[in-house]
Amino acid sequence: MKKIQMVDLKGQYEGIKDTVKDAFTEVLESSAFINGPAVHSFQKELEEYLGVKHVIPCANGTDALQICMMGLGLQPGDEVITADFTFAATVEVIALLGLTPVLVDVEPDTFNIDIQAIEKAITPKTKAIVPVHLFGQCANMDAIMELADKHGLFIIEDNAQAIGAVHTFTNGKKQKSGTIGHVASTSFFPSKNLGCYGDGGAIFTNDDALAHTIRGIVNHGMYRRYHHDVVGVNSRLDSLQAAVLRAKLPKLDEYNSRRRDAAKKYNQAFANQPDIVLPKTVNDCEGICDSCDCHVFHQYTLRILNEKRDSLVQHLNENGVPCGVYYPIPLHRQKAYVDSRYDETDFPVTNQLVKEVISLPMHTELEDEQIGFIAELVLNHIKV
């Protein structure tokens, strides 16, 4: 059996090696390292794949989030609501811009932002909501878009973990994640579902005026060479990264379906275990998505009940199986983000999840034998 890894980038690379090498050579020969033709082509191809009017590539997913907020013209003092249970980048950029982060609890089954908690947190100062499509599945965008309409709020989708996922609205309409809100950000960090070989990110929007504003912001606030109309940043996707992404984009759906296959096999192995809660998929496909793309399993995350999580992590590691705890500390308890407005009783779910979640190896190259080995280790430990 091949050594089990959390993410197997090498194995995936083997399958696209020739395409990537040729694309790299083309960039090297052209010497167009920044804003070269590869970046432009990737932008067009991603717009087509997502069905969105504008993709604006940038340097990483954290920049992408920050630039979304700058583009929307959010001002110091404006309140931005986001999930307590996510990667820190989301709240970091809110704070960096002098905006006020307002963290709210998540749902226990999907791990995504809780709608009632959002409603409770809305004040006259609230300007935007950042739903994070955590672990590969869209937040409840039906309810979130309704709240946006009702209260006149901007929706910034943090799509770093869910590229390729499809959200089905209650009226049956389907839309790709990251194309539903006013604007969205994504990351091409190597381990993401669509990852490059360094840092990369992008912003998506269907709003022409916002897209124009953002194209200037990523390039030092320039709309005409050496005319700086707004304060901008330097945030670019380089051509070598765009070349990798062009090689991988045509395979994204296949990659995502391989992740779903692995998730399905894990689910079968862990079914009906009283101490294991399987990841829930929203479309009532009981966590086993064959035909729908509601979940792209950036992470395969279980809840382990009865305080067995920490010993399970240890058991797996001792047996050479890597695993992750995403995330071990709620953001509202991180030193950088503590705020007197928060009350512990507002975060019952996140406070529980940080003690229960475990993410198992999940990538495009997982073999049945490896899944079987991991599942057996987990079950042996949990059944006792």
Rounded Cα distance, 194 and 255, in Å: 9
Q: Could you tell me the smallest distance in angstroms from the CB atom of residue 248 to ligand PLP? A: 15
Cα–Cα distance, 289 to 309 (Å, whole number): 26
Nearest distance, CB of residue 348 and ligand PLP, angstroms: 22
Chain residue whose CB lies nearest ligand PLP: 61
161 contributes a contact to ligand PLP by CB under 6 A: yes
Does 86 sit near ligand PLP (CB under 6 A)?
yes
Q: Which is nearer to ligand PLP, 160 or 210 (CB)?
A: 160
By CB under 6 A, residue 160 contacts ligand PLP: yes
Site string for ligand PLP, 103-142 (x = CB under 6 A): -----------------------------x----------
The single residue listed with the structure tokens 């500390």 is 329
Q: Residue 57 interacts with ligand PLP (CB under 6 A)?
A: no
Report in angstroms how near the CB of residue 96 gets to ligand PLP at its nearest.
Answer: 13
Rounded to an integer, what distance in angstroms lies between the CA atom of residue 139 and that of residue 132?
Answer: 7
Q: Choose one: 24-32, 59-67, 250-258, 285-293; the region binding ligand PLP (CB under 6 A).
A: 59-67
Taking CB under 6 A as the criterion, the residue among 78, 84, 107, 158 binding ligand PLP is: 158
When asked if residue 62 is in the footprint of ligand PLP (CB under 6 A), the reply is yes
* Element holding 153 (H helix, E strand): none
Q: CB under 8 Å to 181, separation ≥6 — which residues? A: 131, 141, 144, 145, 148, 154, 155, 156, 157
| 297 is a contact residue toward ligand PLP (CB under 6 A) | no
- Contact present, 255 and 16 (Cβ < 8 Å): no
Among the residue ranges 81-89, 109-117, 265-273, 286-294, the one whose residues contact ligand PLP (CB under 6 A): 81-89
User: End-to-end distance of the chain based on CA atoms, in angstroms?
Assistant: 26
Encoded amino acid at 86, one letter: T
Question: Would you say 295 and 263 are in contact if contact means Cβ atoms under 8 Å apart?
Answer: yes
Phi, psi of 352 (to 5 degrees): -80, -45
Which residues in 163-222 contact ligand PLP (CB under 6 A)?
187, 189, 199, 201
Question: Which CA distances in Å does 260 have to 24, 164, 216, 244?
Answer: 30, 12, 38, 23
Q: By CB under 6 A, name the one of 57, 61, 164, 181 that touches ligand PLP.
A: 61
Binding residues with ligand PLP: total (CB under 6 A): 15
Residue 114 vs 158, nearer CB to ligand PLP: 158
Site residues (CB under 6 A) for ligand PLP, limited to 26-55: none
**Closest C-alpha to 189, from 204, 203, 205, 202:** 202
Q: How far apart are CA 245 and CA 228, in angstroms?
A: 30
Q: Quick one: 362 or 371, whose CB is closer to ligand PLP?
A: 362
Tokens at 327, concatenated = 């995330």
User: Cβ of residue 49: shortest distance to ligand PLP, in angstroms?
Assistant: 19
Q: What is the DSSP code (8-state) at residue 59?
A: S
The helix (run of H) or strand (run of E) holding residue 277 is: strand 276-277
* Matching residue, tokens 């340097």: 59
Give min distance, CB of 158 to ligand PLP, in A.
Answer: 5
* Cβ contacts of 23 within 8 Å, gap of 6 or more: 38, 243, 244, 246, 247
- β-pair partners for 108: none
Least distance between ligand PLP and beta carbon 305 (Å): 25
347 binds ligand PLP (CB under 6 A): no
The one-letter code for the residue type at 62 is T
| Residue 100 binds ligand PLP, judged by CB under 6 A | no
Binding status of residue 350 toward ligand PLP by CB under 6 A: no
Nearer to ligand PLP, 114 or 199 (CB): 199
Contact residues toward ligand PLP (CB under 6 A) are 60-62, 86-87, 89-90, 132, 158, 160-161, 187, 189, 199, 201
